[in-house]
Amino acid sequence: MNTDSLFKPFSLKSLQLKNRIVMAPMTRSFSPNGIPTDQVAAYYRKRAEGEVGLILSEGTVIDRVSSSNDANIPHFYGETALNGWQKVIENVHQAGGQMGPQIWHMGIMDNHHSGWLPSQPFEGPSGLNRPGSGNGSTMTDSDIADTIAAFGKAAADAKRLGFDCLELHGAHNYLIDQFFWEATNQRTDIFGGKTLVERSRFAVEVIKEVRKQVGDDFAVIIRLSQWKPVDYNYKLAKTPKEMETWLNPLADAGVDIFHCSQRRFWEPEFEGSDLNFAGWAKKLTGKSTITVGSVGLTGEFLAAFGGESSEPSSLDELLRRMDRGDFDLVAVGRPLLADPEWVTKIRQNRTDELKGFTKEALTELILA
Ligand SMILES: Cc1cc2nc3c(=O)[nH]c(=O)nc-3n(C[C@H](O)[C@H](O)[C@H](O)COP(=O)(O)O)c2cc1C
């Protein structure tokens, strides 16, 4: 297998990556009271030592009382949590890696199975997290303004701590995506509307504030998904034209890289072309894109949460699309969660040593 195209360097603003492989953001819930521990730093350091080009952190939440539904998900605010993150980025840099935090607000959530709840109700555009039902409050104008400011503060802190880029979590029906989706955004003010471009107003304002805080030269990524956790076949943008009207305002507001979340990277986005989401996003915006979803594994990640195991699979189709120029970077989730040396093994063609994925890998921070 010739994997040369995965090992070409990539440069964009603050990013100088040695290869095209990105560690996908993966929530681990190993940060008690929101504070990343030394073990979390060691976990990321191992991926940098294992030659990952760009590490994206697990989702880490902004300074809003109800931005999280789990006490063990890391905060990206407050001195103690930020000191923890400082250790993470120092470790990653010492090991020759580059990294950005995935900045997150969960929006309206179901209650966590642990029973932990934030001290105020979950907040979102219309109190809803799926068609016709919800579990929290509708954000007021001042909630929205304060949330945009909190995203900006987190971005400024990411740059101040020495991270190389940041990613906004705009996917998977969390807050930013709840504004995009008509089922969860029924507002009649300037943050709502009948069209996707109108409902993108919140994202645009967040991106503009983030860009203002980090300046022109710091790479800003946004993660987006067409699918929703309650409907894997859902598409926010139903045609290429609609996708263009969605993505270009986000690019104009300051996005450098679109991270296009799919469960299976090879699935075409629209009829009549085999381009995937990342392929279309690059074609329509001219921006760099990241693809993701079952790279190097037989099964997809949501089934993995249900206990399904996956075997290693061929990278041929990924490389075909990459060589065609469909996307610039490739995010890999579960293989890197299970094996910090996955990238090295791919580069050295040690395919018989690849591990696959079993549900046990979800229960610990694997260091070797
Ligand atoms: C344990 C776990 C936690 C995840 N947490 C996040 C997250 O915090 N933010 C996010 O955008 N995606 C999250 N995802 C999705 C991954 O980033 C990725 O898109 C998905 O696993 C598909 O990639 P894979 O098939 O290579 O695993 C998570 C996935 C897993 C397996």
* Cα–Cα distance measured from residue 262 to residue 232, given in angstroms and rounded to the nearest whole number: 9
What does pLDDT average to over the chain? 97
The mean pLDDT value for 191-211 works out to 98
The per-residue pLDDT for range 287-325, each reduced to its tens digit, is: 999 999 999 999 999 999 999 999 999 999 999 999 999
Is residue 67 included in any domain, yes or no?
A: yes
Ligand 1 mean position, distance from CA 142 (Å): 32
Question: In whole angstroms, how far apart are CA 260 and each of 44, 170, 179, 227, 325?
Answer: 22, 10, 17, 11, 15
Query: pLDDT tens digits, residue range 100-124?
Result: 999 999 999 999 999 999 999 999 9
Distance 193 CA to ligand 1 centre (A): 30
| Radius of gyration over every alpha carbon of the chain, rounded to an integer in angstroms | 19
Residue 267 in tokens: 């699935």
Region 342-348: mean pLDDT is 98
Question: How many domains does the chain contain in total?
Answer: 1
Q: What is the rounded average pLDDT of the residues 316-341?
A: 98
Question: What is the structure's pLDDT at 1?
Answer: 78
Burial label, 306 (beta-carbon count in 10 A; 0-12, 13-18, 19+): exposed
pLDDT of residue 52: 98
In the chain, which ranges are E strands? 10-12, 15-17, 21-23, 54-61, 98-104, 122-124, 128-130, 133-134, 136-138, 165-170, 219-225, 257-261, 288-292, 329-332
**334 — pLDDT class (breaks 50, 70, 90):** very high
Answer yes or no: is 179 within a domain. yes
Query: Does 83 have pLDDT greater than 90?
Result: yes
- Whose alpha carbon is nearest atom 22 of ligand 1? 293
- Assigned domain for 90 exists: yes
Ligand 1 pocket test target in 21, 22, 26 with most atoms within 8 Å of CB: 26
Nearest CA to ligand 1 atom 26: 333
pLDDT band (50, 70, 90) for residue 260: very high
Q: Is pLDDT above 90 for 99?
A: yes
> Measuring from each residue's beta carbon to the nearest atom of ligand 1, which residues come in under 6 Å?
24-27, 58-59, 102, 169, 171-172, 223, 261, 292-295, 297, 300-301, 304, 332-334, 362
- Residue 368 located in a structural domain: no
CATH number at residue 125: 3.20.20.70
- Domain assignment present for 190: yes
pLDDT at 160: 98
Q: Residue 217's pLDDT is what? A: 98
| Å from CA of 208 to ligand 1 middle | 26
DSSP β-bridge partners for residue 136: 122
Region 234-248: mean pLDDT is 98
- The confidence score (pLDDT) of residue 253 equals 98
Stretch 222-246: mean pLDDT: 97
Its domain, for residue 191, covers 4-363
Output the CA 71–ligand 1 centroid distance in Å.
19
- What CA–CA distance (Å, rounded) separates 291 from 330? 5
What separation in Å is there between the alpha carbon of 288 and the centre of ligand 1?
20
